[in-house]
Amino acid sequence: RYIYMNGEYVTEEEAKVSVFDHGFLYGDGIFEGIRVYSGNVFRLKEHIDRLYDSAKSILLDIPMSKEEMIESVVNTVRKNNLKDAYIRLVISRGKGNLSLDPFTCHHPQVIIIVDKIKLFNEEMHEKGLKIITVPTRRNTPDALNPKIKSLNYLNNILVKIEAHLAGVSEALMLNGEGYVAEGSGDNIFIIKNGKLYTPPSYLGALEGITRQAIMDIARRLGFEVLEQPFTRHDVFVADEVFLTGTAAEVIAVSEVDGRMIGNGSRGPITKALLNEFQKLVKEDGIQ
């Protein structure tokens, strides 16, 4: 495995970050998760745009252009010789002193890791996930805006812990007002009477690239898609529920807080959307 670090390729053993790196000390940094399907990097431009937006928002100067970043990602994938993979692009503020002050950090660390990814198997897709809602709330845009894909994922980790303690693998966060926001690392859609609903990102959700791809696909298939606030109740009484994300793709949800969704397995629209998504990822990407 070759890991890209600041313009060089190093082995996993050589890929070391300083204990004075503010990414480590304070979670001061940003990241992206990107997929490679059959040698195509899916929606790379969109991921790079989101990365640079996250950087701008936290006043982090990425020491290279978007074009150079795209080239570095593509080259790292090629060097690792993987046709189907997951890319983790991390930029930390870099090494500074022990104070919070980011202006003591002069060299952001740019790291690209390419790895294999474990998918949900076909049985899990058909059965759907049992999930819960958890007490941990999604921070609202007045705090650290969830649109920033920052290295501060403690909220999301608490969600994972709460899910794990309840014996499920994924969970939903509500925002401070009790509206459904998103999963720990994925966006949520519900389907009611043939219409799709997903929370608007201002409620406290990342503007997922898979979310956007699914909204585009659904509209192309003739479904109405609404970015509209909804509550746990709306999720419980939905005909279908699914989650979207770079890692999760489009995964059905069959139970939420003990309430069975639809007939308790993947619904037909969710299945059709995953089908179309799988076609799209093969056609649409940077080789």
Interface contacts to ligand PLP, rule CB under 6 A: 33, 156, 182, 185-187, 206, 208-211, 244-246
Query: Please, which residue, 32 or 105, has the CB nearer to ligand PLP?
Result: 32
> DSSP letters of 9-31?
EE-TTT----TTBHHHHH--EEE
Shortest approach of ligand PLP to residue 199 CB, angstroms? Answer: 11
> CA geometry: angle at 120 spanning 223 and 118, to 5°?
130
Query: Please, which residue, 4 or 189, has the CB nearer to ligand PLP?
Result: 189
Shortest approach of ligand PLP to residue 129 CB, angstroms? Answer: 15
Shortest approach of ligand PLP to residue 39 CB, angstroms? Answer: 20
Shortest approach of ligand PLP to residue 99 CB, angstroms? Answer: 29
Q: Which residue has the tokens 């509500």?
A: 174
Shortest approach of ligand PLP to residue 108 CB, angstroms? Answer: 20
Cβ atoms of 117 and 35 within 8 Å: the answer is yes
Side chain identity at 46, as an amino acid letter? E
Q: Give me the residues paired with residue 240 across strands.
A: 191
CA distance 64 to 74: 15
Query: Please, which residue, 80 or 156, has the CB nearer to ligand PLP?
Result: 156
Query: Please, which residue, 32 or 95, has the CB nearer to ligand PLP?
Result: 32
Beta-carbon contacts of 6 under 8 Å, excluding residues fewer than 6 positions away, are 107, 109, 110, 111
Nearest to 114 by CA among 244, 5, 249, 19: 5
Nearest to 280 by CA among 6, 38, 92: 38
Shortest approach of ligand PLP to residue 182 CB, angstroms? Answer: 5
Q: How distant, in Å, are the alpha carbons of 111, 143, 177 from that of 92?
A: 9, 20, 32
Query: Please, which residue, 16 or 219, has the CB nearer to ligand PLP?
Result: 219
Marked catalytic residue, from 147, 149, 192, 271: 149
Query: Please, which residue, 47 or 266, has the CB nearer to ligand PLP?
Result: 47
**Active-site annotation holds for 66:** no
CA distance 102 to 26: 10
What count of other Cβ atoms lies within 10 Å of the Cβ of residue 144?
Answer: 15
Cβ atoms of 197 and 213 within 8 Å: the answer is no
CA distance 195 to 172: 21
- Catalytically active residues are 149
